[in-house]
Structure 1
Amino acid sequence: MKLCVPGERLCSTEDCIPGTGTYLRHGCIFASLAGYVLRKNEGEELPVISVVRETEAQLLPDVGAIVTCKVTSINPRFAKVHILYVGSTPLKDRFRGTIRREDVRATEKDKVETYKSFRPGDIVLAKVISLGDVQSNYLLTTAENELGVVVAHSEAGAQMVPISWNEMQCPRTHSKEFRKVARVQPEYLQA
């Protein structure tokens, strides 16, 4: 796809029909905004030429979507995260999320200790349960077996290995640390 700037001559009106993001002047079609040039044949005798800002619309986390996020901070009531992916699609913009203590697991919610479930830097699979707005974050949950920590690093810097639903072990030091471990399903594994 070709990039263009406002005022750039795209083609003659003999070659194309003007579409969105374009304007006509003296028998030529010009770009009215910076973006990508698209030519589409829509059953007309001439293709329609238009200019769009993005090749595709920005994907937004939606209620029920599985997201991959990175833990940025924790406190006794919740973990703060940055959402990195919706499904397997990387996000262009940063979205913040919160995993509340009561949304960490489905059972014994009152016994959950946030610092035994997540640590800053952990990569977590979570599900969106509520949309954020300008002031607040997306509310996320890990209260399913398939959701929780998928990548964690030990104090020694090694990537830890899950040994149960709530523990991971360092392959170097063999020390164990508590986490809310995800039982990752094959469709979420990247080759």
Structure 2
Amino acid sequence: MKEREEENFVTPGDMLGKALELKPGYGAYFSSHDKAIYASLTGFRSLTPAPPDSDDPRATVEVKGHKAHGPVPEPGVVVTARVTKVMAKMASADIVCVRPKSVREKFTGIIRQQDVRATEIDKVEMHSSFRPGDIVKALVLSLGDARAYYLSTAKNELGVVSAESVAGATMVPISWTEMQCPLTGQTEHRKVAKIDVV
């Protein structure tokens, strides 16, 4: 018989408890920012008491039982996302893949101005880095506000991997900061990901 008295429905970003009392299990992660444990999956909150002989008396909190979920973005993982909106200080994007696997739920990511590149952060212009529709490779930094993940493109291998020009053609990267339309020859500014040439 499955224990259900401790279970309730949670979604990514919901607080599951404080790290003083609980430790994270499957579908949960620890946030050093506020010493709390949050859900990284949609499902039911489940507590497993610590074994009687355990050195750690804390119960393990997990998220279980939601069979529809596919892969879930987690801090430290590289994701592929489609840029949906570009503002002065940040760009928002829908995460479409976690590593090589496509996601089944909607996850939103935010690339903040300070996370676009590693150098000259104060000179970053969001509209010169990304455009809506761009496909970007980014690193998940953390679960941010309003259930959106904070993403970073501040490494050479991260950034725009595919973009469409005004003429509708897939552009070709020609430098770290520019992509060119093969039809018109026009260049557009982007934060381009370094592609490993095999």
- Taking structure 1 as the reference length, the TM-score comes to 0.67
Cα 1:103–1:66 shift into 2, 3 Å? same
Give 1:61's aligned residue.
73
DSSP 3-state at the match of 1:149: strand
Superposed displacement of residue 140, structure 1: 0.3
Unaligned segments of structure 2, at least 5 residues: 3-64
Aligned to 2:187: 176
Matches for 1:148-187 after TM superposition, within 5 Å = 148-185=159-196
1:109-140 Cα shifts (integer Å, max 9, x gaps):
0000000000000000000001246x241000
Q: 1:89 — aligned with what? A: 101
The CA distance in 1 between the partners of 2:93 and 2:197, in whole Å, is 24
- The Cα of 1:79 is off from its aligned counterpart by 0.3
TM-fit CA distance, 1:185: 3.8
Q: Give the Cα separation in 1 of the matches to 2:187 and 2:66.
A: 49
Q: Which residue identity lines up with residue 151 of structure 2 in the other structure?
A: L
Residue number in structure 2 paired with 1:72: 84
Structure 1 gap ranges (5+): 1-18, 21-51
8 A contact 2:176–2:194 mirrored in 1: yes
Identity, % of aligned positions: 51
> What RMSD, in angstroms, separates the aligned Cα atoms of the two structures?
2.0
